[in-house]
Structure 1
């Protein structure tokens, strides 16, 4: 008589979303993080509409992204001490007020006032992504459901950069950039309140153990994590450069909506790529995919060097977008394994900081090179090449890291 165990029941994305609070937390996080995708574009469009240059708008956008990224580890540490709700809500209120005030106060105070407001808005960006990743073990104690949620969560991040730039472009060109900033502020506040007032977020506290004090004292940034974070700055650089390059393409060809359509096409590729990645089991280790995915990310940018037409460029950016989610998903899994016990939230925050810092650098440099079509088009590939080179150089420190994401069927 065979004692073979019956196969495990299949896990579907529907089962994940049907679990209490999952849809609310995921939807609220996506809405609350829309300013991450909308504000950089809205700030550039507002700056140019008020007589500023693309270079100045790119600088403001870069400062917002950099400040937002720098604030993430601090927000993560505060959440560990005071909980999520008491950190999320004040940050969201301040962030939304500052974004709404920018078009009112900015013109009267000049570039200095605008810079201070943008910097303060970035520093008060709620750490919703870090908070959501910390909530999954509580909301989804089943590891298979949790792995499927991670794949879904990572894949859906691409929606932010599909809806965000398109919404900003539509509001800015149909009405005006100040309205785009006001809507950005309102969506961010509404999404954060949805998450922060949910019972799992209100009651969340970091896991404690008998040796928690010792674990908290361990050094977070081991050699493997440092190499991982450095490499991810190249990924962020490519994305930041692409956002400004799309605005330059719009001005060059006299097609305003390109500033939203090109980033949206890139992000749609990221969304679809993430869903496809999460639906199947992959052979090999996470480390192998952490090297292979950036290679595809780099190859996808190379056609831009031929100075494609607007339609061809929009289609071309779908390819690197499809690899972006795989890179980020594998990076989160690797960070989870390499980080000391009890400090994974901090590791997630530093990972987000690394991508954001690279994105800000790419945005600023692309703003200065916007009038040079070939140089501007080459920047995303340069960032991807740096990321791949750094990962290959440090692959020995990632060896054996991370389980394979379980597929959702």
Structure 2
């Protein structure tokens, strides 16, 4: 991917974070988005401990992920229509209660169907804080050249949660109690979600009801959003496949404590690449950048199944992580040019839900493969998921182009110039 390090005087992270009022939602938002990174691995570790099966653990986590993927866009629609606070307050309470029920049932050796039943409301009620934070940035910076800087910053923050969250959950589950990861997840949801909901001054204005002259446009009706959702499904397959397969791998070698370290290295790669993406002025257009970056991700994921060394797996995991952030950042940035402002929260939740759905499918398949054929077989899942998504994106790449009236693309950090869509 052709690029050049930016040297011109344009808005950067420092200027972005000096925007008045942003810290009031950034800090509680960071705490409240941790559950998304902790939930799947917390469920896998607890249910595998109580059942002895990665397949069962993956299936329960999959029910949670599918439920989240189905309900997240509805949460985004409701937030656009009634306000974020109205959606968050009941949501965090339901989620906390659902996680408590799921934890109690798992510890009581309840049948698998009971765990599935508890997993549905657990996933459906996951607070969509990441999309809500992005919507607050969009409302505060509407039309500002800082908007693409905010997109990069949010992706870095997301990746940082995937450094902190899984490592924290794994450390709690392996060092304190198998249920400690989920208990911490529920506590962070409750505290962070309520604090974030209390920041009413920065939440986007509630949109007026659609009229005949200005009908509501569903984000999923935009062809480019559907293509991006497929791309994010593939990214979810990497997250889910890595979580289960790394857990199985470290169990196989008799060093389960290394799981958190390995996943942390993988997630650190995401974060570092996200920081770098925010400091580069790209010469290539976002569509081409997304496809080339995704091709690199697929290539990196293709090597995981053949590795049987902790050190080498850490190196390859870092490489895979470095390839994820550019795809995420570019995908989220494309939403700004593809989707009307009235549907952006919904669009962001469709993409977040796609990650959850891909993760759900991946933990199920990888869990079954790990049970039947060992951890190496589970690492095939990220390869297959990314390869299928890449093939689809290449075939449908024309749908990722903004309409002609808006042929302005983000170039680097906060720099917007006319570019080609390729």
Kept in 1, the 8 Å contact 2:166–2:260? The answer is yes
Q: Displaced runs of 4+ in structure 1, greater than 3 A?
A: 7-10, 206-213, 217-220, 399-402
Alignment of 1:10-409 (within 5 A): 10-106=10-106, 107=108, 109-141=110-142, 143-201=144-202, 204-207=204-207, 214-216=214-216, 220-340=220-340, 342-371=342-371, 372-373=373-374, 374-399=376-401, 403-407=409-413
CA shift for structure 1 position 397: 1.9
Partner Cα distance (1:303, 1:271) in 2: 21
Q: CA deviation at 1:272?
A: 0.4
TM-score relative to the length of structure 1: 0.91
Pair 217,168 (structure 1): closer, same or farther in 2 beyond 3 Å: closer
User: How big is the shift at 1:254?
Assistant: 0.8
CA-atom RMSD, angstroms? Answer: 2.4
SS at the partner of 1:256? coil
Judging changes above 3 Å, is the alpha-carbon distance between structure 1 residues 137 and 380 closer, same or farther for their aligned structure 2 residues?
closer
Counterpart Cα distance in 2 of 1:179 and 1:306: 33
Distance change in 2, residues 1:219/1:298 (3 Å): closer
Normalising by structure 2, we get a TM-score of: 0.88
**1:141-184 alpha-carbon deviations (Å, 9 max, x no partner):** 46122221221111121111111111111111111022221111
Alpha-carbon offset, residue 238 of structure 1 = 2.1
Change (3 A) 1:323 1:346: same
CA 110–307 in structure 1, closer or farther in 2 if over 3 Å, else same: same
Q: 137-146 vs 174-183, which deviates more?
A: 137-146
Segments of 5+ residues of structure 2 without an aligned counterpart are: 1-6, 416-422
How far does the alpha carbon of each residue in 1:309-361 deviate from its partner, in whole angstroms, 9 at most, with x for none?
01210121111211211111111222332234522222222222222211111
Match of 1:370, SS?
helix
Residue 22 of structure 1 deviates from its aligned partner by 1.8
Asked if structure 2 preserves the Cα contact closer than 8 Å seen for 1:281 and 1:404, the reply is no
1:227-277 C-alpha deviation (Å, 9 max, x unpaired): 332233222112211111011101111111233222211110000000100
1:3 paired residue number: none
Shift of 1:382: 1.4
Deviations 1:348-381 (A, max 9, x none): 2222222221111111000000042442222211
> Are residues 102 and 220 of structure 1, via their aligned partners in 2, closer, same or farther at CA, if it must alter by over 3 Å?
closer
Counterpart contact for 1:215–1:341, Cα < 8 Å: no
> 2-side partners of 1:166 and 1:218: how far apart?
37
Maintained 8 Å contact 2:155/2:274: yes
C-alpha separation between the residues in 2 aligned to 1:198 and 1:162? 26
CA distance in 2, matches of 1:301, 1:220: 28
Conservation of the 8 A alpha-carbon contact between 1:238 and 1:382? no
Structure 1 unmatched runs, 5+: 1-6
**Matches of 2:212 and 2:408 in 1, distance apart?**
23
Per-residue deviation, 1:49:
1.9
Whether the aligned pair in 1 keeps the contact of 2:293 and 2:327 (CA below 8 Å) is yes
Aligned partner of residue 275 in structure 1, secondary structure: helix
* Residue 210 of structure 1, CA deviation: 9.4
Contact 2:217–2:343 at 8 Å: present in 1 too? no
Q: Is the 2:283–2:411 Cα contact (8 Å) retained in structure 1?
A: no
Q: Distance in 2 between matches of 1:78 and 1:341?
A: 15
**1:282 Cα deviation from its structure 2 partner:** 0.3
May I ask how many residue pairs the two structures share in their alignment? 402
Work out whether residues 21 and 198 of structure 1, in 8 Å CA contact, stay in contact via their aligned partners in 2.
no
The answer as to whether partners of 1:96 and 1:189 remain within 8 angstroms in 2 is yes
| SS of alignment partner, residue 249 of structure 1 | helix
Q: Distance in 1 between matches of 2:215 and 2:343?
A: 8
Change (3 A) 1:153 1:66: same
Which is further off, 254-263 or 80-89?
A: 254-263
